[in-house]
Structure 1
Amino acid sequence: MSWTEFLILSILLLNIFLGLVIIFHERKSAQATWAWLMVLLFLPVAGLIFYFIFGRELKNNPWNENSLFKTNALLRYQREAFAKRTLIRNTPSFEGLEGLIYMHLTHNHAPLTHARSVDLLTDGKEKFEALFEDIRSAQDYVHLQYFAINTDELGGNFIRLLTEKARQGVEVMLLVDGLGSYKLTNRYLKNYLNAGGKVKRFFPPRSMFSYGSLNHRNHRKIGIIDDGIAYMGGFNIGDKYTTENDNLGYWRDSHLRITGSAVHHLHDQFISDWNKGRKVGSHEFHSYQVPVFSSLNSGVPMQIVASGPGLEHNQVKNGFVRMIQKAKHYIYIQTPYFIPDFGLFDNLRVAILSGIDVKIMIPNKPDHPFIYWATYFYIGELIKLGATVYIYDHGFIHAKTMVVDDQVSTLGTTNMDERSVRLNFEVNTFMYDEAMALRMKETFQHDLAHCRKLPLEEYEQRSTWIRIKENFSKLLSPLL
């Protein structure tokens, strides 16, 4: 046997072996399994490389743990109270939401808490002015987590502010995604580190060789300031979020500024992420205590739900599904990427066929071409069933929100696509408050002024080239 024949046979056997691993060992969805099998079949060499870099799952390693150190006592108390029907008794705002609350409480490590105040921030300048002001006022600590921090003007001002606070003796901890913030090197952070600031990179690319693939990113954006203020939502750090971008235009996103006991649970999530990959936890130096009971009769009741690869349930996605299932009147969705798996898509389909008013708002231009055209395919299928789809023309809409029936709403980092619900580490806030739901609804309606409706007739008249891009991207959608 020649070396060429031996090499071809070895590649063939390795492809067969990986195919068997995907089918019998890894817990991928049926769509993702078939997609990877097709890649290995048609791209024997390149497919092996792609699978090694992007396809492996996270299993039995510290990155996919979701331990919340400070909320365990509260979770035990609330689970017992729910079983006794005393947790949400005589609370009209929870009517019909018991199943959603139970699921998050029992399976998703998400206690029911409340925020004393919730500010909905939909403009980058507004968000960063508020965040910078809160950081300047910090006395004890500033704990921040972002997927992407750019090294541009806003990113530089952000790091200089953190450096100044570290010099003042404030504990500053910065957690970033190892790939999303790859430009944020120790050399760039030299002054910050010398001032006493701490930085950690979640799942840096080099960890791929020992833990998994480059596909599993920490997409969460969390900020905790002095145990009294929390931020979470869709904005990263960079100029494009506050200025007109040449390619995408105005960046329209959504973020929350939260005060009250809900801050403790976002803080716990930050600590959990900070400790991932460490043999010894470092949470002991945080002195705050999560109260075993907090009143649900004041402020905005909410549950903060985190999801990630390797966890038993698709926590945030299951929350989406339960919200859709309980809808009686309307479902309003904003998302930059709409590539739902079968469960999400089928529940939306049933809602539309049941007469529910389903409105979906997506961008008018792609920041990721394959994802955009896969989105176009799926929204087309829902338009045919009776959904109303709006194309946001004022720039790029990156908000990830859903509101149902003036009763329940969710906002966070999770897109309605395979990457968010299966591959990334995400976090969403589920809010059980009529006033908050009405605010989210009004924001959606305000954005309609910058949208155009995509009618079925226009969608059906799309060019052959667009149809080809749609169908090709649909095949890749489980891998996007």
Structure 2
Amino acid sequence: MNIKKLVKSKIFYIALAIILQCIFIFFTVYYFSSKYFFVSILLMLFSVCTCIYVINSDTNSSSKLLWVFVIMMFPIMGCILYLLFGGKKIPKELTVQDRQALNDYKRYIQQNQITLKDSNDLLLHRMALMAWNNGYFPLYSNCQTQYFSTGEQQYNAMIHELLKAKDFIFIEFFIINKSVMWDTILQILLDKVQEGVDVRLIYDDFGSLEFFETDYSKWLNDRGIKTHVFNQIKPQIEIQMNNRDHRKIIVIDGEIGFTGGCNISDEYINTKKRFGYWKDMGLMVKGPCVETMTVSFLQIWNYQASIKTDYNDFVLPNSCFSYEKNGFVLPFFDSPTDDKFVGKNMHLNMLNNSSRYFWITTPYLILDSDMVSALDLAVDNGVDVRIIVPGIPDKRMVYDVTKANIDILVRKGVKIYEYTPGFIHGKVCLSDDRNALVGTVNMDFRSYYLHYECGIWMRDTNCIEDIKQDFKQIFKSSHLVTLEECNNVNPVIRIYRSILKIFSPLL
């Protein structure tokens, strides 16, 4: 992006407005605290109270450490920064809308008790009950699953299935970029609208901010593609701007669903080269489990829409499916508006119940003390814990925090692999040859605490062997980080990464 284009962009004006607001707040606080002694004392007392509140808050210890550190270093401005950006404060309007959508969802969805009664599998019961108690996500059987080891494979399957759509297409993505990939999908959507297919699209405003004009959603709506822009970015300091829709979902006719790491942009299918070879992974499911994906899409849709959509109009009854039993499938979704950390709990549950191995890929490794302790305990229990991260980073600062966590984990016996060919963006987890998870959840603070996420947990499905073979190929193409490498890091760089790690909850 050249300077002239940048100055004319929406990003520039939003960033400029936020910077000016921050400067105004800083100088206002500075002026009154320096001119009036009692104001300074009040602000100092307020900062102490804020520290006490942070320490006693129901949040992860890493975030507490960050904000207490900031407030102690900058007693007055640190407190203001916490009020603006700290904690897990979701705006009332967003919370009310999300709660209403959740209540509508709860009235519709019901736990599949027959599936649980037919199984004596303890781990299956644990995962199913945790998912139900965390967000009312049912367990399903009689579903088909297909794993894609590259973004190219998933893209080809998506195009193939979109072309066959008869009734409706629901699409929800964090990033949609004007590209070969989007142009192809867009033309199919426009054609399907002409055929009478109900086409709906949700994209995150921040994720697509750089790529779409302000009125692009209107352009789509005018052509029959019903479009919502999630949590639109505004040129003012607002806490909810931190809560993004990181989900990647396609639902076709209530029978076919896609999810995984791929956004809609050419680097995900390597027609555009960024950071070496871009490796992504995804999943296609068919059968009754698509019900949860359909309803969850409509949940997001309904709390943005003036006219609500009835779930029953788009969910197929189980009698429509004739797939043979193929293990168990559990789609789940995560929202920052409640006190349940579904994505993180899915990872922890899989890790804590692993007996032989736990392998996971993540583009970012920004962990809190809970996850570090769980990984450490798993290693002590004899579990082969392996984490695959990119060999070529997309964000330098985030990569340095990843490196700081790598240092800690390697010393605890966790095997860290760096994907040598380039950037691995997939979020895939595998354990003990029987359990797998494919979705959008990274091992970082944003996915665990701030973003809307999704994923599909599987047990004993036929695609698990494909996932294992993909992991084996990744290991062959990756570099195992050694303790010697960690010890040989320049002391200055080590200190820099340690300091940066304190601020990792903001990255």
Distance 1:477 1:457, change over 3 A: same
Which moved further from structure 2: 38-47 or 429-438?
A: 38-47
Match of 1:418 in 2: 445
Match of 1:62 in 2: 96
Match of 1:447 in 2: 474
Distance 1:296 1:62, change over 3 A: farther
Question: Displacement, 1:33?
Answer: 2.6
Match of 1:401 in 2: 428
Deviations 1:199-234 (A, max 9, x none): 101111239767x33221110011111112111111
Distance 1:404 1:199 in 2: 38
Match of 1:32 in 2: 63
Distance 2:321 2:66 in 1: 47
Match of 1:363 in 2: 390
Using the size of structure 1 for normalisation, the TM-score is: 0.88
Distance 2:308 2:42 in 1: 42
Question: Displacement, 1:40?
Answer: 3.9
Residue among 61, 84, 93 paired with 1:52: 84
For the residue of structure 2 that corresponds to 1:88, the secondary structure is helix
Residue among 340, 355, 378 paired with 1:351: 378
Question: Displacement, 1:265?
Answer: 0.9
CA contact (8 A) 2:267 2:273 kept: no
CA contact (8 A) 1:23 1:33 kept: no
CA contact (8 A) 2:295 2:311 kept: no
Question: Displacement, 1:462?
Answer: 1.4
Question: Displacement, 1:316?
Answer: 1.9
Which moved further from structure 2: 236-245 or 197-206?
A: 236-245
Distance 1:62 1:103, change over 3 A: same
Question: Displacement, 1:95?
Answer: 4.4
* Percent identity of paired positions between Structure 1 and Structure 2: 25
Which moved further from structure 2: 11-20 or 349-358?
A: 11-20
Match of 2:221 in 1: 193
Letter in structure 1 aligned against 2:69? M
Question: Displacement, 1:428?
Answer: 1.4
Match of 2:230 in 1: 202
| Match status 1:6 vs 2:38 | no
Distance 2:32 2:373 in 1: 51
| Match status 1:386 vs 2:413 | yes
Deviations 1:302-322 (A, max 9, x none): 111111213121112112111
Deviations 1:408-430 (A, max 9, x none): 11111101111111111111111
> Unpaired runs of 5+ in structure 2?
1-29
For the residue of structure 2 that corresponds to 1:163, the secondary structure is helix
Distance 1:196 1:18, change over 3 A: farther
CA contact (8 A) 1:73 1:292 kept: no
Distance 1:439 1:91, change over 3 A: farther
Question: Displacement, 1:278?
Answer: 4.8
Distance 2:155 2:51 in 1: 43
For the residue of structure 2 that corresponds to 1:107, the secondary structure is helix
Which moved further from structure 2: 391-400 or 194-203?
A: 194-203
Match of 1:276 in 2: 303
For the residue of structure 2 that corresponds to 1:214, the secondary structure is helix
Which moved further from structure 2: 299-308 or 142-151?
A: 299-308
Which moved further from structure 2: 239-248 or 176-185?
A: 239-248
Letter in structure 1 aligned against 2:433? D
CA contact (8 A) 1:146 1:176 kept: yes
Letter in structure 1 aligned against 2:384? D
Letter in structure 2 aligned against 1:461? N
Letter in structure 1 aligned against 2:96? P
Question: Displacement, 1:52?
Answer: 2.1
> Unpaired runs of 5+ in structure 1?
none
For the residue of structure 1 that corresponds to 2:417, the secondary structure is strand
For residues 81-480 of structure 1, the aligned pairs below 5 Å read 81=113, 87-89=115-117, 91=119, 94-114=121-141, 116-182=143-209, 183-185=211-213, 187-189=215-217, 191-206=219-234, 212-243=239-270, 246-278=273-305, 281-283=308-310, 286-291=313-318, 298-433=325-460, 435-480=462-507
Letter in structure 2 aligned against 1:67? L
Distance 2:34 2:226 in 1: 53
CA RMSD of aligned residues (A): 3.1
Match of 2:21 in 1: none
Distance 1:190 1:318 in 2: 38
Distance 1:149 1:17 in 2: 43
Question: Displacement, 1:62?
Answer: 3.4
Question: Displacement, 1:475?
Answer: 0.5
